[in-house]
Structure 1
């Protein structure tokens, strides 16, 4: 599924609250810009039986007090076992998710600091990390562009 189709699916499945579809549309350039850097258009995400994404807490080797919480995104279903034994747990499910949807969810996942995309099947060494703070910054820039005076229609009055 190409990135345009992924964004359209996000918009189509958004709550019809008069805000969310427009918000997705406004931030879609940021989602696409990051998704274009990824090797795959969709990844596998490990989930609990309730549908919650599985978090992994990583500690800094040199400073064990520094921790970050990540969600891994796997290029193939077989790669889940490279990182986590949770993939072997029958209570855990693996779901394939379009890349832009993973990025969109990242903003809503408060306890998550990053999504770590594994980019080479069978290996854990080639990853692409997307920090929530960086994604939020990009989205804010997009929203500011949308609110800039040049986007106000001349016939608004």
Structure 2
């Protein structure tokens, strides 16, 4: 499913409770998600997910140059085989789940325990990926939503 169709799924799945959420996703949030998704090579990514709780596998990395600095990451792989090969512990019960790229990026906005998702597009290459930072993504969405909300005010309102 292409990126535009993935955005339409988000719009369709938005709460239909009389709020403006479907329009906000279509007109403000969707374009931001699409912009991020178009920086990546694949329309779907494989995410390692625990079998027992269904959580995405979280990896904590520490800075070599700055003691005490950590990042909590989720890795996303364009190829299922790469996701399976990347498992840090063969005894851990995980599965490689295919997730549309827009959904991966959208879910990142709500994952307070995750700092970034690293997308690996080149098969077999775990050294070079594209990082999408949650804070930056949230800032971009917040800014666009503020612009969008301001544009919703009728011009004849006195």
> Which range, TM-score by smaller chain?
0.7 to 0.9
Classify 1:56/1:151 alpha carbon distance in 2 versus 1 (closer, same or farther; 3 Å).
Answer: same
Secondary structure of 2:41's counterpart equals coil
- Paired residue for 2:10? 10
Structure 1 or 2: more helix by fraction: 1
- Paired residue for 1:119? 121
- Paired residue for 1:52? 55
Classify 1:89/1:75 alpha carbon distance in 2 versus 1 (closer, same or farther; 3 Å).
Answer: farther
**Which consecutive residues of structure 1, in runs of 5 or more, have no partner in the other structure?**
none
Cα distance between partner residues in 2 of 1:97 and 1:39: 14
Cα distance between partner residues in 2 of 1:78 and 1:136: 31
Cα distance between partner residues in 2 of 1:58 and 1:102: 20
Cα distance between partner residues in 2 of 1:137 and 1:3: 21
Asked if structure 2 preserves the Cα contact closer than 8 Å seen for 1:7 and 1:28, the reply is yes
- Paired residue for 1:152? 153
Secondary structure of 2:39's counterpart equals coil
**Which consecutive residues of structure 2, in runs of 5 or more, have no partner in the other structure?**
none
Cα distance between partner residues in 1 of 2:132 and 2:39: 10
Aligned residues: 155
Shift of 1:17: 3.4
Classify 1:17/1:94 alpha carbon distance in 2 versus 1 (closer, same or farther; 3 Å).
Answer: farther
Shift of 1:82: 4.1
Cα distance between partner residues in 2 of 1:58 and 1:96: 24
Asked if 1:142 is matched to 2:147, the reply is no
Task: Please show how residues 66-85 of structure 1 align to structure 2 within 5 Å.
Answer: 66-85=69-88
Cα distance between partner residues in 1 of 2:88 and 2:111: 22
Asked if structure 1 preserves the Cα contact closer than 8 Å seen for 2:84 and 2:96, the reply is no
- Paired residue for 1:107? 109
RMSD value over aligned CA atoms?
2.1
